[in-house]
Amino acid sequence: MKILLYISSIVVFLFTGLFYFQENIFAEWRGHQLAYLRQLKQINQDSEHQEEENLSIKLQQIYLPEMNRIDRCVSCHVTIEDPRFADKKNPLKTHPGNYLEKHDPEKFGCTICHDGQGRAIVWDDVRADSKEKFWEKPIIKKPFLEANCFRCHVKPLSETPTYNRGKYLFETSGCLGCHKRDGRGGYLAAELRGLGDASVHQKYPTNSLDPKLLPKFNYNRNLAYIYESVRFPKAQPEDSVMFDFKFSHDDALALTVYLKSLSIKQPGIEKLPQEPEKPLTLLARGKKTFQLFCSACHGENGKGGVKNRNYQKDVMPTLNLIAEKMFLYEKEDADAVIEAINEFGDLNLTDPEPDIPGFNRVLAQFTAVRDIILNGNSAAKKDPEGPAPFNMPSWRKSIPRKDVTSTIAFMISLYDFEE
């Protein structure tokens, strides 16, 4: 019994010593810091001006309690603020660009931008991109890195072209016709705020596409899932009713970056203040509203042609002919209606009544269109036993009344009076 106890004690002692040496004497960060000092010595030998270097070989970290972050990245990346290492290789390389001039690592840390496991001190654990471990926050690289800028920033930046493209595509493709963003939008699909935080145990690409997609996204399952949903909307679920927009790879990539930015988790630091937006003209506001909520079903600029399953008329209504349906056959009459909406907010509130031929008929059609937008409308089935077609939803809660009437004004302006 004593012999067994002695042997087990020796084994424990050996393993303890092994882990001590592995974590301290042979640690990766120690080797990188020693390499840093050797290169500094060489730089000083080659320089006319000798500089005293006093780096202590020890584990370095940035502790940010208000952000609930401990980032030990600087244990290996000790040169991020040293311009003499701009042409070196990682981890002994100066941080690219001038980002650190406005983003002090001691204030922001590293993982707020780059993700990864800030507390880890072994590279494989730091990057957290293993295809077996299902890390929630693997290191994020370009162009997806742009998404994390909007944990603090609120407006597009010149340094985030992919995000900017994705935001533009989102806001001009009618995505809010089905989805919600910050509580505004349709009821057919999920709220998108928080998609970038979705657990990889719940949101991940399908098995058939997984082997092809994951390496392209650095084994970030959240990114791969978002991309797959945008580029291959029928991948999951198989009965998805999402339209296939035939996005190119680059456009799907841009949308992935934008959707990844829609986080609900607070980074522990206040967002930069939102600059007040310049007021839009009536038609500009109507166009923006149409693009946000209507274009997915009714086509770009209301040209229609979008298929509607099991609908009696096969395709969604065309809206660029609304002026004709409102009995506005002359451009000057259409312009007078638009001007009246601009002045009074609603054609029903005009005083005095505009000098437009058959104004009562025009007013009746305007009111009918306005009420359909506010209250919704059911689409008649072609096959009574078949699936339900897309119905016109009620936008009363998501679109302010002034934006509804400005959208009608925009649709009136789409008519080609030169035909």
DSSP secondary structure of 125-145: HHH---TTT--SS----TTGG
Residues 122 and 173 in one domain: no
Where in the sequence is the domain holding 84, given as residue range(s)? 27-40+57-127
Q: Is the entire prediction scored with pTM above 0.85?
A: yes
Residues 107 and 166 in one domain: no
User: Once rounded to an integer, what is the mean pLDDT over residues 179-207?
Assistant: 89
More reliable by pLDDT, 351 or 168: 168
User: Once rounded to an integer, what is the mean pLDDT over residues 310-330?
Assistant: 94
Residues 100 and 172 in one domain: no
User: Once rounded to an integer, what is the mean pLDDT over residues 191-210?
Assistant: 86
- 128 band by pLDDT with thresholds 50, 70 and 90: confident
User: Once rounded to an integer, what is the mean pLDDT over residues 202-230?
Assistant: 88
Statement: residue 274 has pLDDT above 70: yes
DSSP 258: H
Residues 286 and 241 in one domain: no
Residues 288 and 401 in one domain: yes
Residues 236 and 297 in one domain: no
In a domain, 287, yes or no: yes
User: Once rounded to an integer, what is the mean pLDDT over residues 258-271?
Assistant: 87
Which range has the worst mean pLDDT, 42-46, 315-319, 331-335?
Answer: 42-46
Which among 226, 260, 294 is the end of a domain? 260
Which among 78, 97, 127 is the end of a domain? 127
pLDDT at 14: 60
Helices (H), 210-347: 210-213, 221-231, 249-260, 282-293, 295-298, 322-325, 331-344
DSSP 327: T
User: Once rounded to an integer, what is the mean pLDDT over residues 213-225?
Assistant: 89
pLDDT at 266: 80
pLDDT tens digits for range 1-16: 677 776 776 666 665 5
Residues 287 and 405 in one domain: yes
In a domain, 52, yes or no: no
Cα dihedral 117, 122, 125, 130 in deg (nearest 10): 140
pLDDT at 277: 79
Statement: residue 417 has pLDDT above 90: no
Which among 127, 153, 180 is the end of a domain? 127
Domain total of the chain: 3
More reliable by pLDDT, 83 or 202: 83
